[in-house]
Structures are given as structure tokens and as C-alpha cells.
């Protein structure tokens, strides 16, 4: 079991991104498959929530990044309501991280740069799949992929204009560490301009 969170909030890193990076690195070092997988929860203008798993594709002082089809349900909901939650869950280590934040689109240059790093097959799949649309059968998807393969025969497969990245800028980050008797550790960092670090740290009941 990984090290526990400290009993006193003053012993935590003052910047939640430091702890977030540390936990991600530990999950990777422990061999957890898809350690960067995170549940993305969104809701549109009607307030109806939906959730799915996406992969973390960037982390810096500005926030967390992921990329997807912007015409999908999540893309449409984010266009209507630019707020979301992200959840990392590592059962093996008894840890969770919950990120609350505002979501904005990444610019074309950053989206292009990431798209170019994807394998050719994945880039073709972005052209082939109208994400969330009803299909008559799997063959329709295969035919669409073949059409994209014929359209872009070389390595130069450009990014579709409807596909791109997002930045989640956290307003709060919660860290949860499992303990026996279900007396878990749970801390939240909330943005607070009055705090020296810009973050207020509080312990929450599990």
C-alpha cells in the first residue's frame, strides 16, 4: 500500500499539482495499466449528466488536457456548459483524485501538434467515426475507415476540424486515500486568492 496522506494539512504540498504528479508517477511505477485514464463527467444545458473514460494527454500549471471528437455528446455538452469533473481511480493503491474545473478548447496549433503524434490508424479512425452516431453494423465503420485510408494514402493524415483538445482548469482537486474501517483520508485543495499559495487545503469527512 502506498504511503498515507499526512495527518496535518500543513504537511501536504502547497500546490495540488505537485501531489497530482506524484500520485500519477507512483501509479505508473506500480505498473498500473492506463494509469492516466480518467472518468470525464459533463452535463449539457438540460442538466442531464453523462460520463465516460478519456486519457490524460497533458498536465502543467494551467491544468489537465484531453482530446476527443468535439461533435460527440461530451463535446456538445461542453459547448453548452463548460464545466466538468475528472476522476482518477486506482483500485490497487486505494486512491482517487477528483478534479472540478472549467473547460476550454485548446487552440488549433496545440490540437494539431498532439494529433500528429497519434499512430496513423488512430488518425484515420478520427476521420472514420462519427462518434456516437447510430451504425447499421460494424461493416459500415470498416468501410468508413477504408475510405479514409484511401483518401490519405501516406503518413500525412491531417486533423479533422471537428477533433481537438480541451483544457480543464481546476477550481478544486480532491485527494482520497483508502484506510481500514472505512476511515479514509480525504483532502480538498480549493482555489483561494487569500491563501499564500493560492489554494486552501481542508480535510473532509470520507
**Given 182, 186, 191, 203, the catalytic residue:** 182
Q: Tell whether 62 and 143 lie within a shared domain.
A: no
- 166-191: b (≥16 Cβ within 10 Å) or e: bbbebebbbbbbbeeeeebbbbbbbb
Angstrom distance (rounded) from CA 81 to CA 92: 33
Does residue 3 lie within any of the structural domains? no
Does residue 73 lie within any of the structural domains? yes
Share of the chain above pLDDT 90, in %: 89
* Residues pairing with 67 in the sheet: 165
For residue 33, the tally of other CB atoms under 10 A from its CB is 6
Extract the C-alpha cell encoding 149. 485510408
pLDDT at 195: 93
pLDDT at 80: 97
**Are 186 and 204 a contacting pair, CB within 8 Å?**
yes
Angstrom distance (rounded) from CA 125 to CA 68: 12
DSSP for 153-181? Answer: -SS--PPPTTEEEEEEEEEEEEEEE--GG
Q: Of 8-17, 121-130, 146-155, 197-206, where does mean pLDDT reach its minimum? A: 8-17
C-alpha torsion sign, points 135, 141, 142, 143 = positive
Q: Tell whether 133 and 57 lie within a shared domain.
A: no
Q: What stretch of H or E contains 97?
A: strand 95-105
Write out pLDDT tens, residues 31-59: 998 999 999 999 999 999 999 999 999 99
Does residue 192 lie within any of the structural domains? yes
pLDDT at 139: 97
Extract the C-alpha cell encoding 179. 484506510
Residue 10, pLDDT above cutoff 80: no
Q: Tell whether 149 and 195 lie within a shared domain.
A: no
91 is catalytic: no
Does residue 168 lie within any of the structural domains? yes
Q: Tell whether 150 and 168 lie within a shared domain.
A: no
For residue 142, the tally of other CB atoms under 10 A from its CB is 11
pLDDT at 130: 93
Residue 2 confidence class, pLDDT cut points 50, 70, 90? low
Q: Tell whether 193 and 172 lie within a shared domain.
A: yes
Angstrom distance (rounded) from CA 161 to CA 173: 31
Does residue 105 lie within any of the structural domains? yes
Domain count, the chain: 2
pLDDT at 193: 95
Q: Tell whether 133 and 196 lie within a shared domain.
A: no
Residue 117, pLDDT above cutoff 80: yes
DSSP-based three-state secondary structure for 69: strand
Does residue 1 lie within any of the structural domains? no
Containing structural domain, residue 128: 120-158
Amino acid at each position: 500500500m502506498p504511503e498515507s496522506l499526512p495527518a496535518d494539512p500543513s504537511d501536504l504540498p502547497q500546490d495540488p499539482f505537485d501531489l497530482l504528479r506524484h500520485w500519477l508517477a507512483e501509479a505508473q511505477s506500480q505498473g498500473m495499466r492506463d494509469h492516466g485514464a480518467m472518468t470525464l463527467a459533463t452535463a449539457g444545458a438540460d442538466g442531464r449528466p453523462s460520463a465516460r473514460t478519456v486519457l490524460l494527454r497533458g498536465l502543467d500549471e494551467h491544468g489537465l488536457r484531453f482530446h476527443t471528437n468535439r461533435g460527440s455528446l461530451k463535446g456538445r455538452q461542453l459547448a453548452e456548459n463548460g464545466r466538468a469533473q475528472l476522476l482518477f481511480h486506482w483500485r490497487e493503491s486505494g486512491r482517487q483524485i477528483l478534479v472540478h474545473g472549467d473547460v476550454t478548447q485548446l487552440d488549433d496549433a496545440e490540437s494539431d501538434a498532439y494529433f500528429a503524434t497519434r499512430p496513423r490508424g488512430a488518425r484515420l479512425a478520427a476521420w472514420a467515426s462519427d462518434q456516437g452516431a447510430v451504425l447499421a453494423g460494424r461493416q459500415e465503420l470498416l468501410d468508413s475507415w477504408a475510405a479514409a485510408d484511401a483518401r490519405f494514402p501516406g503518413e500525412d493524415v491531417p486533423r479533422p476540424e471537428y477533433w481537438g483538445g480541451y483544457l480543464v482548469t481546476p477550481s478544486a482537486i480532491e485527494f482520497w486515500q483508502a484506510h481500514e474501517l472505512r476511515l479514509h483520508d480525504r483532502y480538498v485543495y480549493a482555489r483561494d486568492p487569500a491563501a499564500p499559495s493560492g489554494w486552501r487545503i481542508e480535510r473532509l469527512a470520507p
